[in-house]
Chain A
Amino acid sequence: MSPSILLWPTAASRHADEVDLLIGTFGGLVALLTIPVFVLMTVFAIRYRTSREADREHPPSGRTWLEFSWAGIPFLLILGFFFWSTQLFFQIHRPPPGAMTINVVAKQWMWKFQHAQGAAEINELHVPAGRPVRLNMTSRDVIHSLFLPAFRIKQDLLPGRYTSLWFQAREPGIYAFRCAEFCGTDHSVMGGRLVVMRPADFAAWLEEEGAFGTSATLAELGGKLFREVGCSGCHGPASDVHAPNLAGLFGRPVGLSDGSTIVADEQYLHDSIMLPNKHIAAGYQPIMPTYGNVLEPEQVNALVAFIRAGAQAQEEEGP
Chain B
Amino acid sequence: MTAAAVDTEREPEEIEGTSYLRAGYSLRSWLLTTDHKRIAILYLLSITFFFAIAAVAAALIRLDLITPEGDLLSNEGYNRAFSIHGIMMVWFFLIPSIPNTIGNFMIPLMIGARDLAFPRLNLLSWYIFIVAGIFALFVVVAGGVDTGWTFYTPLTTMYANGAVVATVLAVFISGFSTILTGLNFIVTIHKLRAPGMTWSRLPLFVWSHYAVSIIFVLATPVLAITLLLVAAERVFGIGVFDPSLGGDPLLFQHLFWFYSHPAVYIMVLPAMGVVSELITAGAHKKIFGYWFVAYASIAIAVIGFLVWGHHMFVSGQSVLASTAFSFLSIAVAVPSAIKVYNWTATLYKGDVALDAPLLYAMGFIGLFVAGGLTGLMLAMLAIDVHVHDTYFVVAHFHYIMVGGSVTAFFGALHYWWPKITGRLYNEVLGRISALLMIVGFNLTFFPQFMLGYEGMPRRYHVYPQEFQVLQVFSSAGAGMLAVAYLMPLTYLLWSLRSGARAPANPWGATGLEWTTSSPPPKHNFTEQPVVVRGPYDYPLAHPRSRQDA
Per the bound structure, the CA–CA distance linking A214 and B113 in Å amounts to: 81
Q: Are B244 and A159 in contact, CB atoms less than 8 angstroms apart? A: yes
Contact with A along B265-293 (1 / 0, CB 8 A): 00000000000000000011111111110
Contact residues, A1-41 vs B (CB, 8 A): 1-9, 18-19, 22-23, 26-27, 30, 33-34, 37-38, 40-41
Q: Are A186 and B75 in contact, CB atoms less than 8 angstroms apart? A: yes
Residue of A nearest to B447 (CB): A5
Complex interface: chain A residues within 8 A of B323 (CB): 86, 89
Contact with B along A37-79 (1 / 0, CB 8 A): 1101100110011100011111111110011001100110011
Complex interface: chain B residues within 8 A of A9 (CB): 453-455
How many residues on the A side are at the interface (Cβ–Cβ under 8 A)? Answer: 88
| Partner-binding segment picked from B184-192, B375-383, B419-427 | B375-383
Which listed residue, A33, A142, A275, touches B159 by the CB 8 Å rule?
A: A142
Q: Are B338 and A67 in contact, CB atoms less than 8 angstroms apart? A: yes
Q: Are B352 and A49 in contact, CB atoms less than 8 angstroms apart? A: yes
Complex interface: chain B residues within 8 A of A57 (CB): 349
Q: Are A159 and B243 in contact, CB atoms less than 8 angstroms apart? A: yes
Q: Are A143 and B380 in contact, CB atoms less than 8 angstroms apart? A: no
How many residues on the B side are at the interface (Cβ–Cβ under 8 A)? Answer: 97
If A154-B389, A158-B249 touch, whether A50 touches B380 (CB-CB below 8 Å) is no
Which listed residue, A6, A23, A55, touches B467 by the CB 8 Å rule?
A: A6
Which listed residue, A34, A45, A61, A187, touches B354 by the CB 8 Å rule?
A: A45
Complex interface: chain A residues within 8 A of B460 (CB): 178, 187-188
Shortest Cβ gap from A182 to chain B (Å):
4
B353 at the interface (CB under 8 A from A): yes
Q: Are A59 and B285 in contact, CB atoms less than 8 angstroms apart? A: yes
Q: Are B386 and A153 in contact, CB atoms less than 8 angstroms apart? A: yes
Q: Are B386 and A149 in contact, CB atoms less than 8 angstroms apart? A: yes
Residue of B nearest to A87 (CB): B382
Residue of A nearest to B374 (CB): A30
Contact residues, A149-173 vs B (CB, 8 A): 149-150, 152-156, 158-161, 163
Is chain A's interface secondary structure helix, strand, loop, or mixed overall? Answer: mixed
- The 7 A-B pairs of least Cβ separation, nearest first, read A149-B455, A160-B243, A89-B381, A44-B347, A88-B382, A85-B380, A188-B460
Q: Are A182 and B350 in contact, CB atoms less than 8 angstroms apart? A: no
Per the bound structure, the CA–CA distance linking A143 and B158 in Å amounts to: 12
Which listed residue, B344, B348, B373, touches A60 by the CB 8 Å rule?
A: B348
B362 at the interface (CB under 8 A from A): yes
Q: Are A61 and B159 in contact, CB atoms less than 8 angstroms apart? A: no
Q: Are B389 and A149 in contact, CB atoms less than 8 angstroms apart? A: no
B219 at the interface (CB under 8 A from A): no
A183 at the interface (CB under 8 A from B): yes
B462 at the interface (CB under 8 A from A): yes
Q: Are B319 and A6 in contact, CB atoms less than 8 angstroms apart? A: no
Complex interface: chain A residues within 8 A of B337 (CB): 33, 70-71, 74
Shortest Cβ gap from B216 to chain A (Å):
27
Q: Are A82 and B377 in contact, CB atoms less than 8 angstroms apart? A: no
Q: Are B288 and A61 in contact, CB atoms less than 8 angstroms apart? A: yes
